[in-house]
Every structure is written in structure tokens, then in C-alpha cells.
Amino acid sequence: MPRVKGGPHAHSRHKKVLKITKGQQGGRHRLYKTANEAMLHALEYATRDRKRKKRDFRRLWIQRINAACRLNDMSYSQFMHGLRMSGITLDRKVLADLAVTDPAAFAKVVESAKGATQNASA
């Protein structure tokens, strides 16, 4: 049986892989075999980190909200409970942005959350 080399199809596949790995160092952007490995790893990391990005941002928002709450003499968990009790439906992304950009407005939100928890306990 004769050997099949692949011809134009293999060439176009190699070009596609080398285009993806453009900008990497050494043989990772020159040699097909190492470039293909680099590409597979890079695509795997990209897929994983798209999921991870959501977790990382949520953690950052919670840390920022917690720090701003502590400045207003309240813990994060008490604050979130107070928000639910008062019916304020701001998500963590908006709350974190508010805490960083407009501390006075965030302090008002904290006061309304405090009031809701005090009314519920009384």
C-alpha cells in the first residue's frame, strides 16, 4: 500500500496551528509538533480560565463589599442579610462598584440594611 503524505490539507492544518501560536517563543511558534502541543494547552487553559474568571471576580467583589461594610461597622454577612430583609436587589458587582466609587452612597445602603435587621429583631 502506498504512503499518503497529506499534501495541501496537511499544509493548511499546519498553517492554522502556526497562526494560532504566533507570538510564542522558540519552537512553539516555528515547529509544528511543539506548536500543536502549545496550542492544545493554550486552548485548554483558555477554556478553564473563562470559567475561573467568574469565580475570581465574585471573590473580588465580596472582598470589596466586606471592606466597605467594615468601615461602616457591619459585617458582610449581616449586610447581605439586611439587604434581603429591606428588599434591595443590587448584585455584588454593582455593590462593589458603589463601594469603590461612591462611599457615601454605599454608606446609605448600609444604613438601610442596618435598619432592616434592627426592625426584624425588634
Q: What pLDDT is attached to residue 117?
A: 86
* DSSP conformation letters of 27-74: GGGT-HHHHHHHHHHHHHHHHHHHHHHHHHHHHHHHHHHHHHHHHTT-
How does pLDDT run across 15-58, given as a tens digit for each residue? 999 999 999 999 999 999 999 999 999 999 999 999 999 999 99
Residue 32's nearest CA partner among 49, 17, 12 is 17
Q: What is the domain extent for residue 91?
A: 10-121
Residue 96's nearest CA partner among 61, 53, 59 is 61
Asked if residue 122 has pLDDT above 70, the reply is no
Residue 36 sits in a domain whose CATH number is: 1.10.1900.20
Answer yes or no: is 68 within a domain.
Answer: yes
Answer yes or no: is 56 within a domain.
Answer: yes
Answer yes or no: is 88 within a domain.
Answer: yes
Number of compact structural domains in the chain? 1
Answer yes or no: is 95 within a domain.
Answer: yes
How does pLDDT run across 67-120, given as a tens digit for each residue? 999 999 999 999 999 999 999 999 999 999 999 999 999 999 999 999 988 887
Residue 99's nearest CA partner among 61, 65, 51 is 65
Answer yes or no: is 85 within a domain.
Answer: yes
